[in-house]
Structures are given as C-alpha cells and as structure tokens.
Structure 1
Amino acid sequence: MKNEQGEVTHYFSTFSDISERVAAEERIRQLAFYDTLTGLPNRATIYSLLEQALAEARRNKQSGALMFIDLDRFKYVNDTLGHGAGDELIRHVATRFKTCLRASDVIARLGGDEFVIALIDITKADDAAIVAEKILAIFSSPFMIDGHEISISASIGISVYPTDGMAVEDLVKYADIAMYRAKDQGRSSFLFYSNDMNVRSLEKLEMESSLRRALDLGELLLHYQPQADIHTGAIVGAEVLLRWQHPGLGMVSPGQFIPLAEDTGLIVPIGQWVMEQAVAQNRSWQQSGVPVVKLAVNLSAQQFRLPLVEEISAVLARHGLAHKYLELEITESMVMSNVERVIGMLDDLAVLGVPMALDDFGTGYSSLSYLKRFPIDKLKVDQSFVRGIPHDADDVVITRAIIALGKSLGLKVIAEGVETREQLEFLRKEGCDEIQGYLFSHPVPAEDFLKLLVGGIRFEV
C-alpha cells in the first residue's frame, strides 16, 4: 500500500491452507496406483514397475524371475464365509508374502486372489525356486479369520528373464501359463515355464473355442449306461453320459472336455442342454410304448447357482415327463461348497418328487452329520472302491460299510464300475440293490439303449 508520495508503506498478504487438497490428491493417487485391501501396487502400477526393473536388469546385465501366484480354494472361502472374510484373508496373505522377499523385490496384487512377484537380480533359476518354496511354506500354518481356522495353499508359475522372454507382457503371460499347469498338477506347488506349456495352452484355447461351438454344431451327444436290478438283471434305469464327437479329433474323452467346461463356465449351458435332451428322449420313448425307466443326469456345482428347481420343473412340464423318471446325481463336494443353500434346493426338488442319488460317496467329505440331512433316495458306491473287490481288503471294508450305511438309512444302493463276476457276487451278498458297469454294458448311443429296452433284455446276474 502506498502513501500520498507514492511510497510503499504497507503490504497485504493472503494465504490458504492447501493441506486438505494435498491429502486428497495423495488419496486419489493411492486409489489409482495401490490396492485398497493390501496397500500393495495394483495392476495399473505393476507393469510400469516391472518395466523399470527390466530396464535396470538390462543395464546391469542381471537376471530376474517373475512369479504369478494364485490362491487355491479361495473361492470356497468366499462362498462359505462371505466376501468380508475373503478380504481379510487376502490382507493376511499379503502380509505373509512380504516376509519372504527382499527390499529390492516387487510384489503386487493383480486382483481377486492373484499376485505377482518380481525377483530382481538373481544369479540362477534355483534362487527363484528357493523363494517359491518359502512362499508355499507360509501356508503351512492356518489363518485365523473371524474365529475360523482357514487352511489354504497357493499355486505358483515362474518365468525367468532373459531366458523365457525380454518383454514384461511375455514374462507375465508365461508365468500365468506355468501357474495353471501347477494348479492342474495338484496345487500347492510351483512350476517353471517351458515352451511346451505354451503349445499346450494354445491347444487348450483351441479346444475351448471348439467346445463353445460344439453345442450349436450338434457335436455333443448322449450315451446311456444301463443300470440293472442285482437280483433279476432287469434294466431299471440308465446313467446319462455326455460325449463329444469332434469333426477333427474324433471322440473326445470326457476327462478332457468336462474339466474344461467347468473351468470356462460352459458346463452351465451344456448341463441345461443335457437335461433338456434326456427328458425329451425319455418322454419320446415312453410315448412310443417302450418300457419305462428312470434316467439319471449328473449335475454340476455351477448349476446350483441358477434357479435350478424352477428350471428342472419347467423342463419336465415342457415335455410332460413325470418327475419320478428323472434322477439327479449329485456329489458330496458339490453340496459342501454351500451346504445350507444347496440342501434347501435339494429339499425343494424332493418336494417336487424328483429322486436324487449321492454319487462318488466315500471319496469326498463323507460327513454323516450332513448325510442324514441330504434328501437323497440312493447311495452310489464309487468305482474306485468297486475296482479293488474282492482282493483289496480296504476296498472290501469300505464298500461293505457304505452298503450297510445306505440300508440302515433306508436308501437304495447302486454300485458303479462292476466289471467281474466276483465283484457282482460280493455286492449281491452284501445287499447292494443295483449295478452298473462293463460287465453288463458300456455306455451306448440312444438307438442301442432303445434296442435293449424294446428287447426286454435281462443281464445275466
């Protein structure tokens, strides 16, 4: 401010507190570049960090390794305990990961249950293996989450710079491929990437693409394996089994494409197609005067996420098939993935009059406290037990116990995988009701099964 002579006599100043703005900008930066659950760099940040690390490795002529980590059975935790517990588990896992790493190493969470770790300046691939073993070891003790003791594991894929690639995108892709191979081989393990993995990964991708088209192109078909009364040999039903007639590969093994359908979610539309076709086929046979039998259809765990009860009821109504001629085969593990919800749906199906069989009994949870709650009509003895009869003492004891348990609960018992007369005689003596297996018939196309029904074939028992 100036006086009358134009001289400056005073100054005015203004100021504002920008600390809130700075804090807000920092918060925005944190949200943009770091995972809110763990505080680790996120997917948007990790690639720039990896580029910097690779540039430094090139300058210093160093080697490095990239790990792609996926938690095993994490989805089960989310489904059973809720997403809050899942989030807390992720935080605990991230904390344990840090105990295995050096200050120079980089770790990020890509999202869900996936993490990436970059090991900077390693002298040999074995160094990465040592770190991978340390990471697997941190899962040896359970996590305490909301009063629950949770035991999980991890699968790890490893790619090495510069051996496997020079670009970040390639190293991440190769580590991801190796991780899935580790998961396929039993989980709780690590594998280094190799070129043949990429070939198999491409083959899997091509098979997935072909499977997506298979429904529309009419390449999927149903075979039927007869189920017979153990005393009379009369056919009382059949298990409906899916087959894929690929134009180039021929008959693709269910062991190849069913797991792929499960992994990709294709099992849902395929399962719906199987249900529709089986019900329509059975009704068609009945209308043509063929002896009436029950057809057993396997359900996938993923189908329980749909309005399954309404869907099955609609299919039966659409084709006019009585509910008692459709049997649903479920597994223990399927029910245990979400006990209360699945049992509720099974109860609704039972009210409708749809019979149910518990498949693969004895190979999964085998919890008797849950078994008595399942509204099932039949126990199915898994072929892995039948196969060892009568020479394997353990299989004999287990099969005998399953049959006795089923009878005590008032359930029918069927044994699958029956291939010898000795197995047949043992099962009959122990009180088994029905049998299924190569001793009587392989799974056969609809026209061949129809001939068995029309001819009134009775298997020799």
Structure 2
Amino acid sequence: METAEELREALVECRRELDALRLEGRHSRMLLDAIGSLLTSTLDDDPFEVLFRALEIVFTFSRLLVLAEQEGEAGELHCIAAHPGGLRGSTWPVGRLFGKVLNGRVSTTLDNAALPEWQGDLPAGLSPAQPALYLPMRVRERRGMLVLLREEGGPGFDRGDVALARNFSLLASAAFAALYTRQRELESRRLRQLTERLQRSEKALAHRAYFDQLTGLPNRQTIEERVQEAIAGLPEGESLALAFIDIDDFKKVNDFHNHSVGDALLIAVAERIRRAVRGRDVLGRISGDEFVLMLVAPGDRQQTAVIVDRIVEQLRQPFRVEGRELFTSASIGVSTYPEHGSDYEALRRNADLAMYRAKKFAKGSACFFDTWLGDATSARMQLEQDLRVAVRERRFRCAFQPKLALATGAVAGFEALVRWQDNAGSMRAPGAFLPVATEMGLLNEISEIVLEEIQDSLEALDRRFGGGTRISVNVAASQVSDAIFMDRLIGRIIDSGRRERFVLEITEEAVVQPEPFVTSILPILRREGIGLSIDDFGTGYSSFSVLADITADELKVDRSYITAIQDRPRSQGILRAVDSLGAALGMAVVAEGVETAEELDYLQRHTGIGFVQGYHFCRPMLLPDLVAAELPEVAVPAAARRMAT
C-alpha cells in the first residue's frame, strides 16, 4: 500500500492543481467583465477610456500609456491616450524591446534604465525605475502597444499578469481599431465570439475544478459542499446517511494489470453504484479508490442497510474490463446525521472508521459507526501523541529480569525489558505501547534508547552480580529484516567494548526468511562473539525446522509449555524433546515464565534444562531496585549440586 507520506504528497499536488484551475477561472470572469464594458460602450465614448476602466478591474497600475505608429513616421511611437491624461502627446523611439512588442510579444521589465526607449527627457511623473508591462496592439497594418506602469520601487508584474495581458491585447487592439477605423460593429462581433469562447472555457474549467475527471462524479470539495447544503436544508427531525466506500485490494489491479485497466474498473464501479442507489442520492469520488455516498432521507437504519447491502452485493459481481473478467469487492462504513456528527467532516471521519472496522472483520462487508469506535480512535490518537513525546523526551526505562542457573542457583544473566514511564510516573508494560510504536515506526528509536541504558547499567550490574552475566536484548521480527537498523545496532554493541556481554533475542518468525539475517547478519554475530537466543521457541510456524540454518546459543521455551507443566503430559513430552534437541545442538535451554514452586520442582526433577526465568524468582525491576534487592535463592537438589561439583 502507499505510505501515509505518499498519500499526503498526492493530496497537496491535487490541491495545487485545483487552486490553479480556480485562479484561471477567476481570470476568465474578470476578462468577461472587461469585455462587457467595451460591448456596452457607445460610439460617443472614448474607447480607451472604456478600456482603462476595464483594466482597472484586473490590473494594479499607476500610469498607463497607449503608444502607436503614425503613418510615414517609422521608428517612432506617439502617445495617443494616457492615464493620467497629461502624458498624452509624448513621443518614444523604437528600440529592441519596443520592436518585439510591436511584433506581438507581451513583455515585462523591472528596470528600464538600460533601454534606449527610456533615455533622454521623459514626461513628468515617469521614471525608468518603474516596473512595466507591455501589451502589443495591431489593427491591419497599424501597430501599437499598451504600457502599464507601477510606482517606482513597487512589485513587478508576474506570470499571471502576463497571461492576462495576452487576452487584453485583443481588447487593446479593439479599442485601437475603434479609434482609427470606427468599425465598432465588426470588433463587437469579434468580442462577442471571444466572450462565447471564454464562457465555454469557464464552464469547462468549473467542471474540472468541481468534478472528478475520470468518473465525472463530484470531487472531494463538491461532495463536501453538497453534504453541508443538505444538512443546512434538512427539515426538523429528518436525517441523512454518509457511506464511505473503499474498493478492496485495488492496488493489486493496477500492479497486476495496468493503470488503464484500473481506471476502467473505477468507471465501472462508479456506474454500478449509481445504478444501485436512488436518484436523489449523491455519489462522489474523493481519491483513487474511495467513494463517498450521501443517502438523502434514508429512513431508519434497516432501510439504509438495504441500500448499502445492495451496493455490496453489486460490487461482488464480476466486472468485464478491456476483455478481462475482474473480481473485486468493496468495504463500506456508514454514519448518520445527526447521531454521528453535525457536519461533513465528522460524518466522513466516522464513516471512514466504520469502513476500516468492516475491512478488518471481512473484506467486502459493511459496518455502521458506533460511538465506541470514536472513543477507541480518540484513545489511539492520544496514545500516538504521547508516544511521540515520550520518544523525544527519552522516557523509556530498562527493567531487568534475572535468568538463573538451575545447577548452581546463581544469576547467569538478565533479560532487558522496556518500560514507558508516563507523565504520571507510572510504568507501562511493553504490551501497552510496543504494537502501536511499531506501526508508527518508533520501535527502532525506542530500542536504541534501551540499548544505551543497558550499556550505562553494566558497571552497576557487575558490582552487584559479578562480571560474567550476559544481557539479553529483544529484537522484533520487523527489525531483524531491517539491515540498516541491525547494522547500526550491532555497531553500537561493538563500540561498547563489551560485545561478549550481549545476547540478541529473536523469535522464530524473525528468521523464517533467510535474507538478510542468515546470510548477512548472523555471520557478523558469530564473528564478533555476540550471543543469539531463539525466543518463544515452539510457538512459531517454523518450529524445529528453523534451527537447520541458525546457529544459536540458546533456546527459550515459551511459557505456554511451562505453565502447570507438572499436570500436562503432552507438554511434558514436548519439553523433553526440546531438552534433547538443545543437548544435541549444543544450545542452552531456558524455561521462561516459571511462576510456581511446582513448575520449578518438575523442571529440576524431570528435565536437564539448565536455566529458568520467571515471576517465581523475580519480577523485572529497574536498576536501582534490582541492585538493592535480596533475590530469592533457588533450592538446588542434591543430584544437581553433585553434577555442578
């Protein structure tokens, strides 16, 4: 699927295109207003005065000159009209810039001091430092130009001004023609034709700005406006429903076939939904494979469900697209006004939540919004916000749980377990936040914070328990497959100078795929003397087969096999098999989750398992509590003591 960041960039680009279309539409309307001013003028009106009023609607300027060639006077232009009028009558030489403008090019300048046209004595009120916009005029063999000037030091004319100027060149030429030939009717006809073209263009622009170009449906903004209008006009006591429709696995269609097939499928989906709803309902497309349907006066929930189920069933039927038979489905979420929101955004958001609930339950199904979905979403958003702050402020602590040797009762090592110290000072267990942190992409940062605290804790642990203990660090499956993260993690362990003290705990799931762990990362661990433990052994879908390619130091038997082991013959058999496997492969076996004396007694009497870990001995503790605690002793049977001796 596309990432959240890619989706946000696509939405920004769509918004930029929409704004450009609207700006172009506004320009067309302004030009139509200016044309209207010329068309309604009389023969007695000065055409340039009418043009000046039209220009004031669109442009910002302080001076305006109309320069034109005179018969028999090549290379010189005369000012035949101006605003203010005192500039009229001045003459101007034709240099390189004026020559280009006379030949039909719209031009702009910020500083005219280097132009020969602006040398010598200038009329009062004019300065070469004034930004200028030059519009060509032409009627048959007569040429001229319109010059718009802004105040000295003011902003120049931009590309939008140049684009508008190209349209106003025709208006300026019309005024030019009216002044010299009085062919007003001909020019009016041309202007009316231009007006008609602009009106058609404006309609096309409006359609592009407010409707989806692929399906012809209302787009995101238009459907929002329609819903808001419908809400505002609802009679007292009536309701409407909003359905959020998402095509399941649409990306696979584009990937497996091509985008042309995907577009054709979207068109077919839109048409099929339209046929399944009532004429007064409004369907819109708001993104690639997402549609929003407004059900006007849907009746009660049962009646709404009938319509929604009909859409679900219609979209399950195969589509015939470009000679291919395609099977798809849609997941739909529904919210209702006013029960689930008072405006479009609230209704859309809640319908979206219900859609994801439907997709999680079963693709191709429908779900109505319920308030607990909103509560869960609010809680999730708050958790995400708090987690981001916690990472930034490094609020994660390391709790250590001892691992004891059954033969001697001594502490052989520790498993480092992360805790989140929230604003209230409470310690949150990993299960309360790590799944969300993983989805948010924060797990690597949290792991690095934990590793740093482990390194800072080694001296205190050595003083209390001796220097032979090893520290196990949990690495998630997603991290094991991340070569960049693993390279950074291993590098920090090596840089600590105590690489032999560290053991990486990974699950079977993490090493099912040989790349990059088996071929790239495992050899480094072996070479550098960093330990490797297979955690939760026996619960993964690979189980024993995973050990064929993995050289590990220890197997940690999952607690599900240890709980009440003394009363579960089948688990006892599995435990004996794991014990034998560990002995055959030269791997230590650790029983984790030992919580009762009965479980410990069984392990001591009936297995050769060498190490145990669990609440029966010690809960995970922060470093200050751990070094100050008196850990319970493990009673070592006489046989075990003799073996150890």
Report if TM-score (shorter chain) is over 0.5.
Answer: yes
Q: Quick check: 1:391 aligned with 2:575?
A: no
Distance 2:329 2:601 in 1: 43
The alpha-carbon distance between structure 1 residues 270 and 186, as it changes in their structure 2 partners (threshold 3 A), is farther
The alpha-carbon distance between structure 1 residues 161 and 252, as it changes in their structure 2 partners (threshold 3 A), is same
Which secondary structure does the structure 2 equivalent of 1:450 belong to? helix
Check the 8 A contact 1:46/1:108 in 2, yes or no: yes
Q: How does 1:192-207 map to 2 (within 5 A)?
A: 192-207=368-383
Which secondary structure does the structure 2 equivalent of 1:231 belong to? coil
Residue type of the alignment partner of 2:635: E
Which secondary structure does the structure 2 equivalent of 1:271 belong to? helix
Q: Quick check: 1:223 aligned with 2:370?
A: no
- 1:412 aligns to what? 588
Distance 2:438 2:447 in 1: 10
- 2:426 aligns to what? 250
- 1:433 aligns to what? 610
Q: How does 1:183-198 map to 2 (within 5 A)?
A: 192-198=368-374
Distance 1:380 1:395 in 2: 15
The alpha-carbon distance between structure 1 residues 154 and 450, as it changes in their structure 2 partners (threshold 3 A), is farther
Give the one of 507, 516, 520 matched to 1:341.
Answer: 516
Distance 1:402 1:320 in 2: 34
Q: Quick check: 1:48 aligned with 2:222?
A: yes
Give the one of 496, 499, 504 matched to 1:319.
Answer: 496
- 2:624 aligns to what? 447
Distance 2:356 2:540 in 1: 23
Q: Quick check: 1:269 aligned with 2:445?
A: yes
CA deviations 1:251-277 (Å, max 9, x no partner) are 223322222211211212111111222
Distance 2:568 2:350 in 1: 44
Give 1:155 deviation, angstroms.
Answer: 7.8
Give the one of 56, 66, 85 matched to 2:243.
Answer: 66
Distance 1:40 1:62 in 2: 28
Q: Quick check: 1:240 aligned with 2:416?
A: yes
The alpha-carbon distance between structure 1 residues 318 and 169, as it changes in their structure 2 partners (threshold 3 A), is same
Check the 8 A contact 1:283/1:321 in 2, yes or no: no
Check the 8 A contact 2:397/2:453 in 1, yes or no: no
Give 1:439 deviation, angstroms.
Answer: 0.8
Give the one of 526, 547, 552 matched to 1:350.
Answer: 526
Distance 1:65 1:266 in 2: 35
Distance 2:294 2:537 in 1: 45
Residue type of the alignment partner of 2:442: L
Which secondary structure does the structure 1 equivalent of 2:335 belong to? strand
- 2:163 aligns to what? none
- 1:16 aligns to what? none
Bigger Cα displacement from structure 2, 243-252 vs 61-70: 61-70
CA deviations 1:98-156 (Å, max 9, x no partner) are 89956346585846xx74563746544356667579969x99xxxxxxxxxxxx99986
Check the 8 A contact 2:404/2:611 in 1, yes or no: yes
The alpha-carbon distance between structure 1 residues 120 and 299, as it changes in their structure 2 partners (threshold 3 A), is same
Which secondary structure does the structure 1 equivalent of 2:275 belong to? coil
Q: How many residues align?
A: 404
The alpha-carbon distance between structure 1 residues 62 and 447, as it changes in their structure 2 partners (threshold 3 A), is closer
Give the one of 103, 125, 132 matched to 2:275.
Answer: 103
Distance 1:364 1:132 in 2: 39
Distance 1:299 1:70 in 2: 36
CA deviations 1:376-430 (Å, max 9, x no partner) are 3222222233224233455445444444444444322212111112222333423
- 2:349 aligns to what? 173
Q: CA RMSD in A?
A: 4.7
- 1:15 aligns to what? none
Q: Percent identity of the aligned residues?
A: 28
Residue type of the alignment partner of 2:492: V
- 2:156 aligns to what? none
Residue type of the alignment partner of 2:619: H
Residue type of the alignment partner of 1:444: M
Check the 8 A contact 1:245/1:252 in 2, yes or no: yes
Residue type of the alignment partner of 1:351: R
Give 1:206 deviation, angstroms.
Answer: 2.5
Distance 1:295 1:433 in 2: 17
Give 1:195 deviation, angstroms.
Answer: 3.0
Check the 8 A contact 1:63/1:120 in 2, yes or no: yes
CA deviations 1:408-460 (Å, max 9, x no partner) are 443222121111122223334233221110111111111233346xx897423
Give 1:239 deviation, angstroms.
Answer: 0.8
Distance 1:316 1:435 in 2: 25
- 2:471 aligns to what? 295
The alpha-carbon distance between structure 1 residues 364 and 313, as it changes in their structure 2 partners (threshold 3 A), is closer
Q: Which has the higher contact order (CA 8 A, sep 6+)?
A: 1
Q: Quick check: 1:305 aligned with 2:482?
A: yes
Distance 1:377 1:50 in 2: 60
Consecutive unaligned residues of structure 2, counting only runs of 5 or more, are 1-203, 278-282, 317-327, 637-645
Residue type of the alignment partner of 1:329: E
Over alpha carbons, which structure has the higher Rg?
Answer: 2
- 1:118 aligns to what? 293
The alpha-carbon distance between structure 1 residues 169 and 401, as it changes in their structure 2 partners (threshold 3 A), is farther
Residue type of the alignment partner of 1:328: L
Residue type of the alignment partner of 2:525: L
Bigger Cα displacement from structure 2, 417-426 vs 279-288: 279-288
The alpha-carbon distance between structure 1 residues 255 and 456, as it changes in their structure 2 partners (threshold 3 A), is closer
Residue type of the alignment partner of 1:310: D
Residue type of the alignment partner of 2:622: P
Residue type of the alignment partner of 2:275: A
Distance 1:228 1:219 in 2: 29
Give 1:294 deviation, angstroms.
Answer: 0.8
Distance 1:87 1:373 in 2: 39
Check the 8 A contact 2:312/2:366 in 1, yes or no: no
